[in-house]
Amino acid sequence: MGKLELGIYLALPVVAGFLLQGNDYALTILAFMLIYGVLAMATTICTGHAGQVTLAQAGFFGIGAYAAVLVTLDLDLPFVFGFIASLVVSGAVGYALGVPILRVKGHFLGLITLAFTQVVYEVALHWESLTGGFNGLFGMTKPVLPIPGIEPLYSFILILTAFWFAVLLAADNLVHSRYGRAMHMLKVTEQGAQACGINVSRYKSDAFALSAALCGGAGAFYGHFIGYIGPDSFTIDVSIAAIAMAIVGGIGDLRGAILGSVLLTFLNEPLRNHPLYQPVMYGAVILLALIVLPEGIVPSVLRIARPRPPA
Amino acid sequence: MTDLAMMPQLLASGIMMGCVYGLLALCFYVVHAGTGIINFAQGDFVVLGLIAIWTCIVAFHMPLLLAIPLTVLATGLTVGLLERLLIAPARSREPSVQLLITLALGILIRGLIQLLWGSQPQSVPSFSGDAPIHLAGAAILPQALWIVGGTMVILAVLHFVFTRTLFGLALRGAAGDREGARVIGLNAGLISFYAFGLSALISGAAAAVIAPVISANPLIGLSLSLKGFAGAILGGIDRPQTAVLGGVFIGILETFVAGLISSDYQNMFVFGVLMLVIVIRPAGLLGKRT
């Protein structure tokens, strides 16, 4: 992505948040778009770019949230320490989990990572002394900037935007670096990658752990933003949302991840008030998008906008 | 009751649930063999069957002889239609897309059932009463005999399909070598349709016999999928026999863990077993070494 394009992406939430000050509901939706944007970009790196299908995002999201909240609540440290803890703990769990399970591929990996998310849910539910069990943990406050003249919620959006933009910048650099191209080779042809001397298992673990750490960071923001976390905050639905945003927006395309997170968060908002219709509509929209736009929205639109020159 | 005295009882319950997981593992085998897809909506196919059998028996008071075939047929037709509409267009797409499609299909089925039917589990009466049969220190529900018997019948029919019909041979051939199957002119689209259809017929039959035990619960799909898949991986998903045995083993294991340790961590246990198998023998405990 060019500097101008990146600048526009940075400006969008900053300006939108500024204009929406006073409208807490709209700012909340914006915060969710950014949090889910991070999850979708993490999924794009792991699944879209490196080809390792994952449904573990909700698990790492949860682990990060619990790690951060325990640091700020129990140790009484500022948010930044909780945030660092969330990156480290989620990344470490991701690395440890990745080493054995990345031996399997494709759909199998999907189901095993889904089982992992279920396990995180069960641990959060039953390890009451640490996680508060069913009641969860509450009482944390969101980080704000001491800038006079702006709302606390908007200043939180600014901090969140900084994280979101850092993820976008890092992911964009990764995708275009030598290291990132080696990662992409895993998806295109694993045997080919091996033949080129790429350490396949190391790159797989790296991609998986990196995406896990990013999901953990998103979890830290989520927990402190909502002020409550419990097992039900981290169900498989979060993983499905993350992969749906990444794929519907455009497989392996960071712009697609951003667009997907904005669109699906936006779609989900009116549906939340109609829980009976929510799953049907959500499932139907994803299926429809996948059948009508096989490669996701962004690549399909780009293809129409920029037809290939005749050979 | 001492732990030792509980053994026969746990074994009996374990075999009962194991039959269901075994049939689910078989469904995973059939779809995977035919298409290379691991079907995340598998458990929801069973839920379709559960709703169908409830409708037949409780709502319309049909006799069993009519209710069971109708359930099997209804599940098979619904899934066949869904395969044509939603799975077939994505046949040659990358794994993450196919995975999202079966996931979304599961969400859609679950959502539609909740919308049209409700989300409260409804009980289905046992086929032949609830008086337990005492056998070797275990109290066995008559329904358990239906489940085990039903599983035997399904396996016998499938044995015939796999060894005697053109579709069965084509399916096993495609499982062994997908490229080769295409080279000799097997119609991949048709195999996909039949594979999903067959898995739905099995799901419907399994749902019919298990309904009185687990009741018609629209939200049970995902958990059934996970257990059946764990069974298929544990035994080895490359052959139908090993997949079924893996499923039975998961059922027995789960019941023993719940009975002797705690039922809080059932999924964790299944997951632990999965991890162990993947690390030690990726092809499954009974699978061929690759």
Tokens at B257, concatenated: 């863990």
Is A189 among the domain residues?
Answer: yes
pLDDT band at B178 (very low <50, low <70, confident <90, very high): confident
Q: What share of residues in chain B are helix, strand, coil (percent, to 5)?
A: 75, 5, 20
Cβ-proximal residues to B208 (8 Å cutoff; 6+ apart), any chain = B49, B52, B53, B67, B68, B71, B72, B150
H or E segment and range at residue A174: helix A152-176
Tokens at B51, concatenated: 């709703």
Interface of A with B in 82-111 (CB under 8 A): 100-101, 103-108, 110-111
* CA-based end-to-end distance of chain B: 46
In sign, the C-alpha dihedral spanning B54, B57, B59, B60 is: positive
Evaluate whether A208 touches A49 at the Cβ level (below 8 Å). Answer: no
The ipTM is 0.85
Is A272 among the domain residues?
Answer: no
Mean pLDDT over B107-113 rounds to 91
3-state secondary structure of B122: strand
* CA-based end-to-end distance of chain A: 26
- In this structure, the dihedral spanned by the alpha carbons of residues B125, B128, B129 and B133, taken in order and rounded to 10 degrees, is -130
Q: How far is CA B131 from the centre of its chain?
A: 27
H or E segment and range at residue B9: helix B3-35
Is A248 among the domain residues?
Answer: no
Cα angle, residue B207 at apex, residues B201 and B210 outer, rounded to 5°: 145
Evaluate whether B286 touches B45 at the Cβ level (below 8 Å). Answer: no
* Nearest-angstrom CA–CA distance, B194 and B174: 13
Cβ–Cβ gap B104/A116 under 8 Å = no
Q: How confident is the model at residue A93, as a pLDDT?
A: 95
In sign, the C-alpha dihedral spanning A293, A295, A296, A302 is: negative
Cβ–Cβ gap A122/B267 under 8 Å = yes
Q: How confident is the model at residue A298, as a pLDDT?
A: 87
**Mean pLDDT score across all residues of chain B:** 86
Ramachandran region, residue B36 (left: φ > 0; alpha: ψ -120 to 50; beta: rest): left
Q: What is the pLDDT along chain A (311 residues), one digit of tens a residue?
A: 888 989 999 999 999 988 988 888 999 999 999 999 999 999 999 998 998 999 999 999 999 999 999 999 989 899 999 999 999 999 999 999 988 888 888 888 888 898 889 889 988 998 888 888 888 898 888 888 888 888 889 999 999 999 999 999 999 999 999 998 999 998 888 888 888 888 888 999 999 999 999 999 999 999 999 999 999 999 888 999 999 999 999 888 899 999 999 999 998 888 888 888 888 888 998 898 888 888 888 888 888 887 666 65
Q: Who among B94, B105, B271 is closest to A287 (CB)?
A: B105
pLDDT band at B248 (very low <50, low <70, confident <90, very high): very high
pLDDT band at B288 (very low <50, low <70, confident <90, very high): low
Q: How confident is the model at residue A80, as a pLDDT?
A: 93
Q: How confident is the model at residue A194, as a pLDDT?
A: 87
Q: Does B108 contact chain A (CB < 8 Å)?
A: yes
Tokens at B172, concatenated: 């096993």
Tokens at B46, concatenated: 């069973």
Q: Does A274 contact chain B (CB < 8 Å)?
A: no
Residue ranges of domains in chain B, CATH in brackets: 3-127+137-280 (1.10.3470)
* Nearest-angstrom CA–CA distance, B235 and B240: 9
Q: Cα Rg for chain B, rounded, in angstroms?
A: 19
Distances B290 to A140, B238, B247, B283, B284 between C-alpha atoms, Å: 52, 11, 22, 7, 11
3-state secondary structure of A127: coil
Cα angle, residue A43 at apex, residues A42 and A47 outer, rounded to 5°: 130
Is A196 among the domain residues?
Answer: yes
Nearest to B109 by CA among A280, A69, A253, A122: A280
Q: What are the DSSP calls for B26-75, one per residue? A: HHHHHHHHHHS---TTHHHHHHHHHHHHHIIIIIT---HHHHHHHHHHHH
pLDDT band at B73 (very low <50, low <70, confident <90, very high): very high
Q: Does B189 contact chain A (CB < 8 Å)?
A: no
Nearest to A112 by CA among B271, B242, B97, B286: B271
pLDDT band at B197 (very low <50, low <70, confident <90, very high): very high
Evaluate whether A218 touches A91 at the Cβ level (below 8 Å). Answer: no
Q: Who among B32, B100, B222 is closest to A243 (CB)?
A: B100
Interface of B with A in 191-210 (CB under 8 A): none
Q: pLDDT digit string (tens) for B4-48?
A: 777 888 888 889 999 999 999 999 999 998 888 889 899 999 999
Nearest to B140 by CA among B6, B12, B11, B2: B12
What is the crossing angle of helices B166-176 and B3-35, to 10°?
Answer: 90
Q: Who among A104, A111, A278 is closest to B282 (CB)?
A: A104
Q: How far is CA B228 from the centre of its chain?
A: 6
What is the number of domains present in chain A? 1
- In this structure, the dihedral spanned by the alpha carbons of residues A272, A275, A277 and A282, taken in order and rounded to 10 degrees, is 50
Rounded to a whole number of angstroms, the distance from the CA of A11 to the nearest CA of chain B is: 32
Q: Among all residues of chain A, which has the CA nearest to that of B105?
A: A283
Which residues form the domain of A12?
3-234
Q: pLDDT digit string (tens) for B112-152?
A: 998 888 888 888 888 887 778 887 777 888 888 899 999 99
Q: Does A290 contact chain B (CB < 8 Å)?
A: yes
Q: How far is CA B66 from the centre of its chain?
A: 22
Distances B9 to B16, B141, B146, B213, B243 between C-alpha atoms, Å: 11, 11, 17, 16, 25
Residue B282 pLDDT > 80: no
Q: Does A249 contact chain B (CB < 8 Å)?
A: no
Is A27 among the domain residues?
Answer: yes
Cβ–Cβ gap B265/A101 under 8 Å = no
What is the crossing angle of helices A278-292 and A236-249, to 10°?
Answer: 30
Q: Among all residues of chain B, which has the CA nearest to that of A97?
A: B275
Q: How confident is the model at residue A43, as a pLDDT?
A: 94
Cβ-proximal residues to B69 (8 Å cutoff; 6+ apart), any chain = none
